[in-house]
Chain A
Amino acid sequence: SAVISQKPSRDICQRGTSLTIQCQVDSQVTMMFWYRQQPGQSLTLIATANQGSEATYESGFVIDKFPISRPNLTFSTLTVSNLSPEDSSIYLCSVTARGTNEKLFFGSGTQLSVL
């Protein structure tokens, strides 16, 4: 399986600011995804991070609020912009790695609290 490093692991941010989360994988991966997990709830797919092109967003998520970059096969960032308390969630990077038969693996997540 791929080893996925996410940082920061947690942060507390003020309303109106932005937070950028980094995801680094130790091997080349085929797909990278960003999920949100609101308190006590399941995982909701935000977008697919595409290498060298704009991310593919799920319904209800837009690029202005959640800009995503993926400059290469092993690295991606998710920015949560113009933060409000409703953005308080866990944000998770996930990947499917070469040779793992499409299994989806997760990082440990970023716990975001917005005051």
Chain B
Amino acid sequence: GESVGLHLPTLSVQEGDNSIINCAYSNSASDYFIWYKQESGKGPQFIIDIRSNMDKRQGQRVTVLLNKTVKHLSLQIAATQPGDSAVYFCAENSNTGNQFYFGTGTSLTVIP
């Protein structure tokens, strides 16, 4: 499958600060990306998605940025809260298939 990787395996932030989680992908044919949050003992939870015809998309306290030139996307979490502590994954999907491939994950710890 495609290679999707993350720059930072762990991230610690102070409560109230903004968090930025990065992801690099290698398949230039990928045209759809999803960020997931996974808490201990649970399945991945959909956070936000973005298609390749966009470079930015905002949700509630979260923003995803996509840079197709360097095949990079990021997840920004505003005013990080203790409940945001989890592992975050990016996943990519190409227009040549229906499969999603996942990055290595970043463990976010929010310090009260």
Residues of A within 8 A of B (CB): 1, 4, 30-31, 33, 35, 41-45, 48, 58-59, 92, 94, 96, 102-109, 111
State A103–B42 Cα separation when bound (angstroms): 18
Q: How many A-B residue pairs have CB under 8 A?
A: 55
Which partner residue on chain A sits nearest B43 by CB separation? A106
Contact B46 A1 (CB under 8 A): yes
Contact residue among B45, B93, B101, B103 (Cβ-Cβ distance under 8 Å from A102):
B93
**How many residues from B make CB contacts under 8 Å with A?**
22
B74 close to chain A: CB less than 8 A: no
Residues of B within 8 A of A (CB): 1, 32, 34, 36, 41-46, 49, 89, 91, 93, 98-105
State A111–B45 Cα separation when bound (angstroms): 17
Chain B min CB distance to A104 (Å): 5
Contact B1 A31 (CB under 8 A): no
- Taking CB atoms, residues of chain B closer than 8 Å to A1 are 46
Chain B min CB distance to A82 (Å): 25
Known interface pairs A45-B1, A102-B32, A103-B34; A108-B89 also in contact (CB < 8 Å)? no
- Taking CB atoms, residues of chain B closer than 8 Å to A35 are 102
Chain B min CB distance to A89 (Å): 13
Contact A33 B99 (CB under 8 A): yes
Contact residue among A4, A42, A109 (Cβ-Cβ distance under 8 Å from B103):
A42
Contact residue among B44, B46, B99 (Cβ-Cβ distance under 8 Å from A45):
B99
Contact residue among A41, A45, A107 (Cβ-Cβ distance under 8 Å from B100):
A45
Known interface pairs A104-B34, A109-B43; A43-B102 also in contact (CB < 8 Å)? yes
